[in-house]
A = this chain, B = another copy of it.
Amino acid sequence: MTIADVAERAGVSTATVSRALTGSRPVAAETVRKVQRAAAELGYSVNSIGRALRSNRTDTIGMVVPSISNPFFTSLVENVEHALGGSGKQLFLCDARSDPAVEAERLRSLVARNVDGIIVSPTHGVDSAPAVLEAARAVPLVQLDRYVDGTSTDWVGVDDIAAMRLVLDHVHAAGARSAAFVGSLLTNSSTERRLAGFQQQAEALRMTVRDDWLLLGEYSIAWGEQALERLAGRERLPDAIVCADDLIALGVTRACRARAIKVPDDVQVTGYDNIEFARLGEPPLTTVDQPGKKIASEAVRLLAAASGTEAAEASAHIALIPKLVVRHSTRELPDRH
C-alpha cells in the first residue's frame, strides 16, 4: 500500500498524490477529490519512514528524563505533551534510569532517528555533559529543570536559590533556628543549587547548620526514611528538615510517624516539586511548587525557535520563580523560642 497504488487508482502521478495529500503545492480541487477517494478506498496511510528519509523531518521530539517513576518528571512530560498540543509533533519519551550511560545511549539513538529536537533533563551534572553537548551539536536541544556543567544550550527551570530562600524564611518565621538538609548526592544541578541556596539563606538568617545535618543520598522515599533515622540517632533533632524533593520529604515524615516524632511540632519538614502525592502525606507537605506548565511551554517555544533559524542565535537561560505552598508539615505561626 504505497503512494504508487493510490496514484494508479486515481489515474494520476505519484507526485500529484503527494501534493494532493500534503497540500504542499496547489492541486486542482477535482484532482484532490479523486486522490482522496482513492486513498480512502485503499486504506492508504503515509509511511513516515519514507517521508522522513526524503524530507529530513520526523515530526518527532525526543524527551529524556532521569526517571519516569518520579512523579515530578511524569508531570513534566504531561505538560510538554500538552504544550506540543496540535503542533502535529509526537513525543518520543526515554527513561535514563538515572544512569548517564543509558542516557547517552538514548540521546545517540534519538539523534540517529533524526528527531526534530530534544528536551532533556540531564541525570548528572558532570557525567551527562559529553552526551548532551554532542546531541546539541546535531539537533536543537533544550535542557529542562536540571542542566549540565559548562553548557551553552537553552535551559528552562526554576530559580532554586530563590526557592530555598522562600523555604527558609518560612520555617524561620515559624520559629526554626536550626535546620538540616536532605538531598541527593551532589551530582546534578538541582541538588547542587538547592543546597547552595539552603546554606546561603541559613547563614543569612543565622540558623544553626551542623555538618552532619547535610545528608546526601538519592531522590527516593527510602532515602528520606534512612536520613531521618540518622538524624534521630543523634543527640538532638534540628528545628527543621529541608528536603530537596517531595519523595525524600515523604520518606522523612513517614519515618517521623514511625518514631512518634511530631511534625510540625517536634520538627518542621519541607519538600520540593509539589507532586500530587505531597498533599497525601501525613501531615500534608509544605513544598515548593514548580510551574510545570510554564516550564514546558517555554521549552517547546525555545525548541521551535531553534529549529526555525539555522543560525544558532544566543541561547537562553530561563529561570522561573517558584512559589511556596504551605500545608501542615510546617508551623503556620511564629513560636516562642
Chain A interface residues (CB < 8 Å from chain B): 45-50, 52-53, 58, 68-69, 71, 74-75, 77-78, 81, 90-95, 97, 106, 108-109, 111-114, 221, 250, 254, 257, 276-277, 280-282
Contact = CB atoms under 8 A, between A and B. Distances in A.
A113 B74 contact: no
Contact of A75 (B69, B94, B111): B69
A48 B112 contact: yes
Contacts of A93: 92-94
A276 B78 CA distance: 20
Given A49-B49, A69-B71, A69-B78, 11 more contacts: A47-B114, A48-B112, A49-B52, A49-B53, A68-B68, A68-B78, A91-B94, A92-B93, A221-B276, A257-B282, A277-B280
A91 B63 CA distance: 12
A113 B89 CA distance: 13
Contacts of A97: 81
B78 A112 contact: no
B58 A68 contact: no
A61 B48 CA distance: 16
Contacts of A71: 69, 71
Contacts of A277: 277, 280
Given A282-B257, A282-B282, A276 B111 contact: no
A46 B112 contact: yes
Among A69, A97, A250, max chain B CB count under 10 A is at A69
